[in-house]
Chains A and B, each alone.
Chain A
Amino acid sequence: MSILTVRDLATHFHTRDGIIRAVDGVSFDLAAGETLGIVGESGCGKSVTALTIMRLIPPETARIARGSVEFEGRELTRLSEEQMREIRGKSISMIFQEPMTSLNPVLTVGTQIAENVWRHTGVSKQQARERAQAMLDLVGIADSRRRLDEYPHQLSGGMRQRVMIAIALSCDPRVLIADEPTTALDVTIQAQILDLMLELKEKLGTAIIMITHDLGVVAETTQRVVVMYAGRKVEEAPVEELFARPLHPYTHGLMRAIPRLDADAETAGRRPRLKEIPGMVPRLDRPIAGCPFAPRCDFATERCRVEAPPLEDHGKGHLAACWETARVQAVAA
């Protein structure tokens, strides 16, 4: 049962140099309690997709050019700012990469959690403070009573991200959007935060959209994955299926481009060459004819350069936008 339905969403930025099509026709569903990964490299539109759902794109330059975002039967793209504020932090929450820049440096962490609670639930300030302390306990911050009165700068990076999660989950949201939540953290702290998020998801039943560039994080935390490239969804599949049988040449290339930690990539004493994806991402300030990945693709044919491939269903919930999936599969096998 889908609780969030995104259809043909397009977000364009109007700049002096023209229109940047940051997101250009993205569709996906999020089921209740599910973890969906959105993966892609810088500029692929994964963060702008999230910000568009939250209606946090800058109104001076950005427009939702078309498409819809339906949440629990309401069309978010048409809500007023007032109505959106009722949803943000209550029904849909978001956490960001750098907690220090999203926390207010002059307010105690207790105040920042409690603020979200009393805004949305109308409880007394005392009750909100109690809720804040319970949230700190929930996210594994020891000595929560004392921590309530501390300021963000007194906390480590990992603890700040725990506080962000505490704020985000304080009103039992249905959906948590996490935009690179562990990218700024050290690996041992990243492991703690990812485990915490998954544990809380089990406990509270929150659906998560996990936005990341890290295929390791995707593999370990998500159930289904959307792969984005140049503002479009190029592939979608259940996570095991995606890693076992990537159908889009971009996904296939990404998986071969990453150095591997697991043993099967090892060859005695030698350093195998990584598979490169040549060239770089296309500019988004002009319309792209054909498949956006074609100029970097080993499988590209004449047709790819002129005719954009539609997303096709390959069974098992596996979608890919590529004319040459048969050849990609033959190589990947």
Chain B
Amino acid sequence: MSDAPSLEVRNLVKHFPIHSGLLQRRTGAVKAVDGVSFAIRRGETLGLVGESGCGKSTVGKTVLKLIEPTSGQILLDGEDVTHLSPGRMWHHRRRIQTVFQDPYSSMNPRLKVGTIVGEPLENFGIASGRDKDERVAKLLERVGMRPDAMNRFTHEFSGGQRQRLGIAKALAVNPDVIVADEPVSALDVSVQAQVLNLLIDLQDEYKLAYLFISHDLAVMRHISHRIAVMYLGRIVELTDKRTLFSMPMHPYTEALLSAAPVPDPSKKKARRIIVQGDVPSPAKPPPGCHFHTRCPYALPKCKVEVPPLIEVAQGHHVACLRRPVGASPEPLTPTA
């Protein structure tokens, strides 16, 4: 067993070209992911949080190599898989699996559950026939389903049960890393709790590394060990979850936390920081710090200088010109 992180991403970039005009010339690029780095250890959950269009799902798809990165490196267990051809990548796919938001749209409605969950076992030549059925039965039990679910179709199950099937399928090949993109967003709260508990139990049992992508801060806080906050293709803050929630240092993180409604009427907020306006288009992000157009603390230099992500305190990375190394986590004073 190596000491290398289960999954590491170095300076990942993914640009989608924009073609326009009569000749469909390339006229620009959507910088969906613009230099993202992180590492996830065995048994650890890294949460990737941000609003629509921040690039969090593109990060997920790129590390799964469902889309090719523009530049940067992806390492599985210390091994660089960035430039492997689809054929060579196949051997590594077993190590990194995924759970989607809507499992129903990712499962063939004409196949029985046993075939769907057992498919990766056949694909990778791990088991077939009766052996496969036995393994599928065990997987189903492990995710809290009855083994006879094998002989039924996905439409016979509720949303929460389908998500359990999705998890069973991801687990089938014994992966090291699971990329979970909004896995509980489509579920009702009572069922969401069941699925989150299951994910945590499985992680503790198999020492899985999770890249957990979500827009929901409360869910994030529950399941993550460390959290990276993304804004327009870049990580603006990365730290352990206690620090993030008790002393956020990036103005965007602060705004995000204060905007989330808290289920406690005695804490109705007067102190909410409302960020003005909308998220700018990732095809035309503002220069300098992407957040300066909505930031109450922006200085003139924020409009021109791109703030690097620096470690301002032990394990606490922030990309803000107003938070240099050793900066105090005290609230900033708004600029005019």
**Which residues of A are in contact with B by a Cβ distance under 8 Å?**
41-42, 156, 158-159, 186-192, 194-195, 213-220, 239-240, 243-244, 253-255, 257-263, 266, 268-269, 271, 273-278, 280
Q: Does B193 contact A (CB under 8 A)?
A: yes
B259 within 8 A of A: yes
**Contact among B158, B188, B221 with A213 in the assembled complex (CB-CB below 8 Å):** B188
In B186-209, which residues have CB < 8 Å from any A CB?
A: 188-194, 196-197, 200
Binary per-residue interface labels of chain B (253-281) against chain A in the complex, 1 for a CB within 8 Å, 0 otherwise:
00111111111111111001011001100
Interface size bucket, B side?
35 or more
Stretch of B28-36, B212-220, B304-312 contacting A (4+ beta carbons < 8 Å): B212-220
> Is B278 in contact with A156, judged by CB distance below 8 angstroms?
yes
CB-defined contacts of A186 to chain B, threshold 8 Å: 51-52, 215, 279
B residues at A contact (CB < 8 Å): 51-52, 158, 160, 188-194, 196-197, 200, 215, 217-219, 221-223, 242, 245-246, 255-269, 272, 274-275, 278-279
Partner of A220, one of B193, B194, B217, B268: B268
The one of B51, B158, B222, B259 that contacts A259, using a Cβ cutoff of 8 Å: B222
Determine if B222 and A274 form an interchain contact, defined as CB atoms under 8 angstroms apart: yes
A220 touches B265 (CB 8 A): yes
* Cα A239 to Cα B266 with chains together (Å): 9
In the complex, A219 Cα to B160 Cα: how many Å? 26
A219 near B265 with CB under 8 A, answer yes
**Bound-state Cα–Cα, A182 to B52, Å:** 14
26 residue pairs from A and B, CB less than 8 Å apart: A41-B189, A158-B278, A159-B278, A186-B279, A187-B217, A187-B256, A188-B256, A188-B274, A189-B278, A214-B261, A216-B218, A216-B260, A216-B263, A219-B261, A219-B262, A219-B265, A220-B261, A254-B189, A254-B190, A255-B263, A258-B192, A259-B219, A260-B218, A261-B218, A268-B242, A271-B223
Cβ of A21 to closest chain B Cβ, rounded Å? 19
Q: How far apart are the CA atoms of A201 and B272 in the complex, in Å?
A: 19
- Compute how far the CA of A277 lies from the CA of B187 in the bound complex, rounded to whole angstroms: 13
Chain A residues lying within 8 Å of B215, measured Cβ to Cβ, are 186-187
Give the residues in chain A near B261, CB-CB below 8 Å. Answer: 190-191, 194, 214, 216-217, 219-220
Complex contacts, A191 vs chain B, CB 8 Å: 258-261, 272, 274
B217 to chain A, nearest CB (A): 6
Residue in chain A with minimal CB distance to B198: A276
Chain B residues with CB under 8 A of A253: 190
Report the bound CA distance from A216 to B189 in whole Å. 12
Question: What CA separation (Å) do A269 and B242 show in the bound complex?
Answer: 8
When A156-B278, A243-B265, A271-B223 are in contact, do A259 and B190 touch as well, CB less than 8 Å?
Answer: no
| Secondary structure type dominating chain B contacts | helix
Q: How far is the CA of A153 from the CA of B190 in the complex (A)?
A: 35
Q: For the complex, give the distance between the alpha carbons of A52 and B256 in Å.
A: 36
**B222–A187 CB distance below 8 A:** no
> From A187, which residue of chain B is reached at the shortest CB distance?
B259
Contact of B260 with A187 in the complex, beta carbons under 8 Å? yes
Q: A191-B274, A215-B263, A216-B263 are in contact. Are A271 and B188 (CB under 8 A)?
A: no
Interchain CB contact (< 8 A) of A280 among B158, B266, B268? B158
Taking A191-B272, A219-B261, A259-B196 as contacts, is the C-beta distance between A277 and B190 under 8 angstroms?
yes
Chain B residue with minimal CB distance to A214?
Answer: B261
A276 proximity list for chain B (CB < 8 A): 190, 193-194, 197
A243 touches B264 (CB 8 A): yes
Cβ-defined contact, B263 with A42, below 8 A? no
User: Which of B200, B218, B259, B264 is in CB contact (< 8 Å) with A271?
Assistant: B200
